[in-house]
Amino acid sequence: MPGLDHEHQASASSQGAPGRRLLEATTADLRTWLAERGHPAYRARQVFHWVFYRRAESFELMSDLPLVLRRQLEADWAVFSTRIAYHGKSPDGTDKLLLECRDGRRIECVLMVEDQRHTVCISTQVGCGMGCVFCASGLKGVERNLTADEILEQVLRLRNLLAPGDSVTHIVVMGMGESLANLDNLISALDRLCSTAPGLGLSQRRVTISTVGLPEKIRKLAALNRQYHLAVSLHAPTEELRNELVPVNEKIGLSAVLEAADFYFQTTGRQVTYEYVLLHGVNDRLQDAQALARRLQGRKAHVNLIPYNPVAGLPFERPRAEAIRRFVMVLRDRGVSVTVRKTKGRAIDAACGQLRRRLDEPGPPPLVPGPVSPMTLDVP
């Protein structure tokens, strides 16, 4: 397993869609390119406006640009650098995209629609280096960090699936990868999405960054003075059990995670959510709930319980309904705020790493979603 602070260099090779990556360019970059070809600077804003607001996925569609400019753009740039390798749709209003990056690596992202809420769940790495024993994403380790534009592109591609006039209302960074191991690229992408120059103008408060709990990175994020909502994947109330389930805990320790989370709350004023995957007979027992309540008592914190979504080949099971109820009651009785995460994407392997894993296996991809177990994704 790689070191905790090791930031994997995102290297996007030149295979796949040709051209410079438009979402990697700033308005200034594009202006320089335009000036070199004798085009006015304001065209740069027009181009980004088309991509961010008018959902153009090719230059061809940018009808208010001169034809010659559109041809030149097409020759040099690519609006998107990934291609959709698979699009899964679930009857409950969940879409999952498997995107193939230029280097052939595949990442997953999910769109969940519920009433007026349009939540996208995005990935930050190819694979994951944290090795949580119940999770499909990390089974083969981490391959690389995603670039900022690859992160941004997931949101835009999912947004483009929404009905005209609908927009993304929430982003959860809960797909593949350890978000804070790729902090710089993630923040660069999120900041852009939360800006209007040009971006999607989303409020930072509607973005949740989920982390295994890397204390130094949590402090670094706190110091950036943003309003992103932090979710820390705790999964166990004691060092011993957390070491078993979340192996990186051996080097970090539960207290350091909680202290960093407290620091995040003090610095940003934003209450931290603790995620807790309930695994039948492993961490869903009465004593686990009691120990968790003791750990969190006195903290202004919220617990999000995630009933486990079984992963083929791994020995964990979903918790029984009775165990979930008991867990909630114990926490509530002790004054700890708690919710149980909703299940979305039942038929499409929406859990992090599951779809990629299934499609990476030999044999043709299952175009009709198979009988896989439900997936859970947070909608804070």
210 binds ligand SAH (CB under 6 A): yes
Nearer to ligand SAH, 44 or 231 (CB): 231
Please write down the long-range contacts of 293-298, taking CB distance under 8 Å and 24 or more positions apart. 293/330, 293/331, 293/333, 293/334, 293/336, 294/237, 294/334, 295/237, 295/254, 295/258, 296/331, 296/336, 297/334, 297/335, 297/336
Residues 126-165 touching ligand SAH, rule: CB under 6 A, are 130, 132, 134-135
Amino acid occupying residue 230? L
Q: Cα–Cα distance between 253 and 250 in angstroms, integer?
A: 6
Catalytic residue set? 108, 352
Q: Cα–Cα distance between 182 and 175 in angstroms, integer?
A: 13
101 binds ligand SAH (CB under 6 A): no
306 binds ligand SAH (CB under 6 A): yes
277 binds ligand SAH (CB under 6 A): yes
Residue 198, preceding peptide bond in cis (omega within 30° of 0): yes
233 binds ligand SAH (CB under 6 A): yes
Containing 244, the helix (H) or strand (E) segment is helix 239-245
DSSP per residue over 20-79, as a string? EEGGGS-HHHHHHHHHHTT--THHHHHHHHHHHTS--SSGGG-TTS-HHHHHHHHHHEES
Nearer to ligand SAH, 48 or 276 (CB): 276
Residues in binding contact with ligand SAH, number by CB under 6 A = 20
Residues 360-379 touching ligand SAH, rule: CB under 6 A, are 376
How many C-beta neighbours within 10 Å does residue 63 have? Answer: 10
Nearer to ligand SAH, 130 or 254 (CB): 130
Least Å from the CB of residue 196 to ligand SAH: 28
333-362 footprint of ligand SAH as x/- string (CB under 6 A): ------------------xx----------
43-82 footprint of ligand SAH as x/- string (CB under 6 A): ----------------------------------------
179 binds ligand SAH (CB under 6 A): yes
DSSP per residue over 271-312, as a string? PEEEEEEE-TTTT-SHHHHHHHHHHHTTS-EEEEEEE----T
Least Å from the CB of residue 191 to ligand SAH: 20
311 binds ligand SAH (CB under 6 A): yes
**Candidates 79-87, 153-161, 247-255, 308-316; binding stretch for ligand SAH (CB under 6 A):** 308-316
What tokens appear for 98 in the block? 């498997």
Residues 159-178 touching ligand SAH, rule: CB under 6 A, are 174, 178
**Interface residue list for ligand SAH (CB under 6 A):** 130, 132, 134-135, 174, 178-179, 210-212, 233, 275, 277, 306, 308-309, 311, 351-352, 376
